[in-house]
Chains A and B, each alone.
Chain A
Amino acid sequence: MTVWLVFILGGIGTYLIRASFIALGARVELPSWCRRALKYVAPAVFAAIVLPPVVGDDGLGALEVPDARVLAAAVAALVAYRTKNITSVLVVGMVTLWLLQWVGL
């Protein structure tokens, strides 16, 4: 029962978080500096999602002595930059990781 309560309360809060500004609609007017900063939500949030699991427990040190995950992510980033194709990024990234782990990195 507790688990259900956790997910129901978590879900209500999540909905309110997502609804917040959109639900207010024309009743809010964000200042222009804020609207400009909000243009960079995507790179800011996505970078914060990507980097921690790529570097792992070593934190920023992993960037100095790259392990398989850091190298595979670097290769995948190059593919993303060149092709703009999500499937290629996933395939190349995973295969690179497997190869690097296979050679013992």
Chain B
Amino acid sequence: MPWPLWSQNLPVKARSVPFSRRTWNCSSSRISFHSASTLIVFGGASQLAAVIVLDAGGSALFAVVTIWAVNARHVMYSAALQPRFRDAPRWFRLLGPYLLVDQLFAITEPRPDSDPVDYRISHFLAAGLAWLALWSGSVAIGVVVGQAVPESWSLDFAVPLLFLALLINALRDKPGLLAAVVSGVVAVLGREVEPAGVGLLGGAVCGMAAVALADLAKGRRAADGRSGRPA
């Protein structure tokens, strides 16, 4: 679900971004600004975080670092999909990752390993381009109608709801539950760490480390059990 359609934060905050303040009265340039920045970064949460930094008087450099930090989690998506696309043609391996946002990962990751490479590529591109079109269109609409939506509607809550649906769908076994619990708790504890996104990244890394450690402990227990048995 494209939340820029509802999230009034992006356009409202952007009112105080230096560039758009100048053009505040001209809604068409606001639309082109937001559409352009969306096509350049294609990461809603990171764009919002950068606008909030600039809005609060933070430096441009810190805003850039914030965008990188919020999107740093995508390196894990890239690593997770690497085995599947290792034999894909070079053009795809260079162009495809531009589309690799959370929702596309949620759609492509559960595909079976048995998919042929060609199918994988078309599936990835079709879903990714459809999402790009839907998303950037929603941003343009959100710039115009977003401010008409009262804050009391709490439409920002749709974002965690969407990811909650994706999370429950991704929970398939006990290690997954362990990863989610550890990750969620660490992310909550680190929610105020600057730049934005560091708490999220730290949480996710801790969650996966917990799975790896549990694996290791299990392997060791199994090994001890074998050596403890009489020959």
CB distance from A83 to the nearest CB of B (A): 9
Indicate if the CB atoms of B157 and A93 lie closer than 8 Å.
Answer: yes
CB distance from A75 to the nearest CB of B (A): 10
Q: Which B1-24 residues have a C-beta within 8 angstroms of A?
A: 1, 17-20
Contact size range, A: 35 or more
Q: Count contacts on B: residues with CB < 8 A to the other chain.
A: 97
- B residues in contact with A81, CB < 8 Å: 168
Chain A residue at minimum C-beta to C-beta distance from B98: A15
Encode B199-211 as 1/0 by CB contact (under 8 A) with A: 1110111011101
CB distance from A105 to the nearest CB of B (A): 12
Q: Which B161-177 residues have a C-beta within 8 angstroms of A?
A: 161-171, 175-177
Instruction: Using A1-B19, A7-B47, A40-B207 as known contacts, say yes or no to A24 and B82 having CB atoms under 8 A apart.
Output: yes
Indicate if the CB atoms of B183 and A13 lie closer than 8 Å.
Answer: no
Indicate if the CB atoms of A11 and B18 lie closer than 8 Å.
Answer: no
Q: Which segment of B130-138, B186-194, B221-229 sits at the interface?
A: B186-194
Indicate if the CB atoms of A77 and B168 lie closer than 8 Å.
Answer: yes
Indicate if the CB atoms of B73 and A45 lie closer than 8 Å.
Answer: yes
Instruction: Using A4-B19, A17-B75, A86-B1 as known contacts, say yes or no to A51 and B187 having CB atoms under 8 A apart.
Output: yes
Instruction: Using A30-B82, A38-B79, A97-B154 as known contacts, say yes or no to A14 and B179 having CB atoms under 8 A apart.
Output: no
- A residues in contact with B74, CB < 8 Å: 14, 17-18
Instruction: Using A9-B64, A10-B64, A25-B85 as known contacts, say yes or no to A73 and B75 having CB atoms under 8 A apart.
Output: no
A contacts, CB < 8 Å to B: 1-11, 13-15, 17-26, 28, 30, 33-55, 59-60, 69, 72-73, 76-77, 80-81, 84-86, 89-90, 93-94, 97-98, 101
The 7 A-B residue pairs whose C-beta atoms are closest, nearest first, are: A10-B67, A44-B207, A48-B203, A48-B187, A51-B184, A80-B168, A42-B170
* 13 CB-based A-B contacts, threshold 8 Å: A2-B18, A3-B19, A9-B67, A10-B67, A13-B64, A37-B208, A40-B175, A40-B208, A43-B183, A44-B183, A47-B183, A59-B188, A80-B164
